[in-house]
Structure 1
Amino acid sequence: MRRASLVLVACAALLAACSSAADSTESAATSTVDSRGGIPPGYPLDADVMAPLVITALGPDPIPVTGTDGKVHVAYEISVLNLSPRPATITEIDTLAGGPDGEVVASLTKDEVLARTFPLANFEAAPVTDIPVGRTVVLVLDGVYDTRAEVPAEVTHRLVTSYGPFITQDSGLNARYPDTVTQIGGAVKTSARSPVTIGPPLAGDGWVAANGCCVITSHRGAMMAVGGRINGTERYAVDWMRIDMNDPVLSSSDGDGSKNEDYFAYYASLLAVADGTVVSVVSDKKDEPPHQVNQSLTFNQLGGNYVIIDIGGGNYAFYAHMIPGSASVKVGDKVSRGQVIGDLGNSGNTTEVHLHFHVSRAPAPLSSDNVPYEIDRFTFVGSTATDSLVKGPDAGERTDQLPLNSDVINFPK
């Protein structure tokens, strides 16, 4: 029988282009700004400077997490509002450790900036070539460091921006807006917290971390106002798909992939990642046919059938897209790590069978802060590339790491 080719990008993010999160706890620059008469760091105290962009850090203070590449990743977002009467194009971003005069720890040039720029409201796909007048975009950024000790306690950003022709009626101010501006903003304080350590959510071989951290995927680009705030509620989410590693043609299904039963992930047992208490269960939504997104779903139906477990420490494990009626737990149940809580299906906002899994800071999975986690034991096999499996030169047992995008993982059976 013909096998359906594995296309990771076809696996829809839970929100497709929607997201949520929480306000940052406290601006790292608050006391500094107050002592400067309200003028942010990086701007002179004795002269007025035209600064057309409003640059703001979004979401909670980012928590560093170790990935399967052995690097420490710090994922976060900043918003940029263009208050100029001219469209703006960000041509360069420098990440500065400690403040405006700090060491440059990362740089993005124009094409890289464009790939990480997402407009709000109209969900135009990246790359976005400019920021229209009066519009806001979100920059999806990732700091990568060799060790946790190298991660700065705080970073800010230097943006170089060029401006296009005036598109608004001249109010007498147009001539005062420069063609190129360099600005400082978006101070981000690194959290002192550690990622939550969990067990595997699944068992067995051949699991692919689709739409995973920390490159640009439908999860990282899913930015929307949810719960009265803007943030990346799927920042560290993974869509776990399953492949047959013995097949030279990488595939997530047997047959033509037209039925849910064709998929290797279908009916897989979902496991509690830690001891905890079940706080939410939905189990009455129908499975959707593969590759047919149900546009009639309401916002609260995007996860389909799901289970949320309070795993302690203010962390909640979210399992989405389960088979209808398969949940083996109910609200209030105590669960133990490794306990089967239900079976994987294709309910909700999904294009093919996969487990959408993430950890959040409240039992509202689309409105609360999305936080990183590290799985305490698994085998790293390699990564997927188009229709083939590329075995990693450093394949083997791993402990306390976050599987990254397109990683192929074997979990304990």
Structure 2
Amino acid sequence: MRRLRLPLASAMVVALAIPLLAGCTQGQATSGAAATNPPPGQTSDPAAGRATGTGIMPGYEDESVLAFTPLVIDTIGHEVVPVEGSDGLDWIAYELTVLNTSPRAATLTQLETLEGDEHGAVIEKRDQARLAANTMIVGDSTTIMGGSSVIPTGRTAVIVLRDTYPSTDEVPKRIVHRLTATFAPATPEDGRLAPVYPDEVAQFGGAVVTGGRPPLVIGPPLAGANWVATNGIETEALNMHSNVVIPVGGRLNAAEEYGIDFLRIDPSIPATHVGDPSENASYLAFGEPLLAVADAKVLSVVSDRPDIAPGELPQLDSVDQATGNAVVLDLGDGVFALYAHMEQGSATVEPGDDVRRGDIIGRLGNSGNTSQAHLHFQLQRGPLMTADNVPWVVDRFVASGMISPDGERIVDAPRPGERVDEFPIGRSISDFAELER
């Protein structure tokens, strides 16, 4: 069989001249070890996500000794909302930042997720290899696909985390993290304070509160069968959306956390094109109608940018060129829907238009930062990438299969059949209702 040709890049991945960040997590969070106690003299404030207390490090018998805590652990702030995936599991998606204030390089050796606070049970544990696969250094383009366990002095790392739970009721209301690290031996070049820093630490931080508003329920952005969700939330979280943690709006932002690249396949091959792979018209997704996912007002429309040849990433001069031809819908309540990579000249709406759910707003193309025809779709808290992503689910669709991890074949879906108010997980194949013509 021919290997399924998945997109090499999505809406915002190569758009920036600055290096991007990438990460990966694995597996299902499970209940685990007994409660873990904090270091002597240290407590934490889970709601604020900051360690508080005396600052005394473990191993000091004399509690009058003040010791540095060289890692500053925080979250990329927004609400963390559990989303039920089409696999029947509840997913949470979030990111930690870790600043190494020590004059010595830090090696991250383990990350534990604890329920509630630092006294809670360990519900997930990542060893050094798995943690490294989730971690990248801000500003270092060589780590944008993960694989970094060392944080140089003065640098910040981002750890991308995707965890699953059997049901919404089993998702902890609060979690906190215990990060273990060792530090390189002090040298004279490190400065006179370098020996004062500890050789190893186990610090708490990165508190997360889950819940809040539920995912937004929407209609499908496409019609018909055999739509593959690529670069979405998945067990192997490293992909070309989870790596888009970028500095915009004066902060780090997980710009495509719940974004999906939808491709259409011929399940009998399987492949995303039939015919000449250098022609856009050969791709099964190209020219397909795009549908309003809710009653909305059209905020912005770009429709004059050319479709590029498949496999040829364009030269981009600004961040906003990455989406190519695009429509942004204002769904109300501070939520906006982005449709990217549309066919040139295909938009059927103008700014200010009112649309109803299911209306055709344009057609799928291959414009902007894209390697083949696909729809990049996501919800966000504003019209631009400075906004937080918004979790969403489709009110009704059929889960018809999965693409195997190697991309070579179609396998059974975890829960084949009709799905209600669920999120199409990565590599899943969905059938949406036929368009009423």
Q: Aligned equivalents of 2:369 and 2:273: distance in 1? A: 19
User: Is residue 390 from structure 1 mapped to residue 408 from structure 2 by the alignment?
Assistant: no
CA distance 1:342–1:128, change in 2 (3 Å)? same
Q: Aligned equivalents of 2:346 and 2:274: distance in 1? A: 23
What secondary structure is seen at the aligned counterpart in 1 of 2:99?
Answer: strand
**8 Å contact 1:121–1:224 — kept in the other structure?**
no
Q: Aligned equivalents of 2:15 and 2:110: distance in 1? A: 25
| Residues 338-377 of structure 1, C-alpha deviations (whole Å, 9 max, x = no match) | 110000001111111110000001111x110001100011
Q: How many residues align?
A: 400
**8 Å contact 2:230–2:426 — kept in the other structure?**
yes
**8 Å contact 1:11–1:210 — kept in the other structure?**
no
CA distance 1:198–1:42, change in 2 (3 Å)? farther
CA distance 1:337–1:329, change in 2 (3 Å)? same
Q: Which amino acid aligns with 1:142?
A: R
Out of 399, 406, 418, which is 1:380 matched to?
Answer: 399
Q: Which amino acid aligns with 2:323?
A: G
CA distance 1:171–1:56, change in 2 (3 Å)? same
**8 Å contact 1:4–1:252 — kept in the other structure?**
no
CA RMSD of aligned residues (A): 2.5
Q: Aligned equivalents of 2:67 and 2:54: distance in 1? A: 14
Q: Aligned equivalents of 2:195 and 2:303: distance in 1? A: 61
User: Is residue 88 from structure 1 mapped to residue 106 from structure 2 by the alignment?
Assistant: yes
Between the aligned residues of both structures, percent identity stands at 41
Counterpart of 1:24?
Answer: none
Deviation at 1:42, TM superposition (A): 10
CA distance 1:42–1:56, change in 2 (3 Å)? farther
Q: Aligned equivalents of 2:219 and 2:382: distance in 1? A: 19
Q: Aligned equivalents of 2:339 and 2:164: distance in 1? A: 28
| Residues 112-161 of structure 1, C-alpha deviations (whole Å, 9 max, x = no match) | 10111021112223111311111111000123211212222221100011
Out of 93, 97, 101, which is 2:119 matched to?
Answer: 101
Correspondences of 1:251-290 after superposition (within 5 Å):
251-290=271-310
| Residues 26-71 of structure 1, C-alpha deviations (whole Å, 9 max, x = no match) | x8544997xx679699999965233111111112021111101111
Q: Aligned equivalents of 1:174 and 1:4: distance in 2? A: 56
Q: Give the stretch that moved more between structures: 122-131 or 337-346.
A: 122-131
**8 Å contact 2:50–2:206 — kept in the other structure?**
no
Q: Aligned equivalents of 1:50 and 1:79: distance in 2? A: 18
Counterpart of 2:254?
Answer: 232
TM (norm. structure 1) is 0.91
User: Is residue 113 from structure 1 mapped to residue 134 from structure 2 by the alignment?
Assistant: no
TM (norm. structure 2) is 0.86
Counterpart of 2:365?
Answer: 345
Could you tell me which runs of 5 or more consecutive residues in structure 1 were left unpaired when the two chains were aligned: 21-26
Out of 168, 171, 176, which is 2:196 matched to?
Answer: 176
What secondary structure is seen at the aligned counterpart in 2 of 1:231?
Answer: strand
Counterpart of 1:23?
Answer: none
Q: Aligned equivalents of 2:423 and 2:279: distance in 1? A: 31
Deviation at 1:402, TM superposition (A): 0.4
Q: Aligned equivalents of 2:176 and 2:85: distance in 1? A: 23
Q: Aligned equivalents of 1:177 and 1:17: distance in 2? A: 39
Q: Which amino acid aligns with 1:70?
A: G
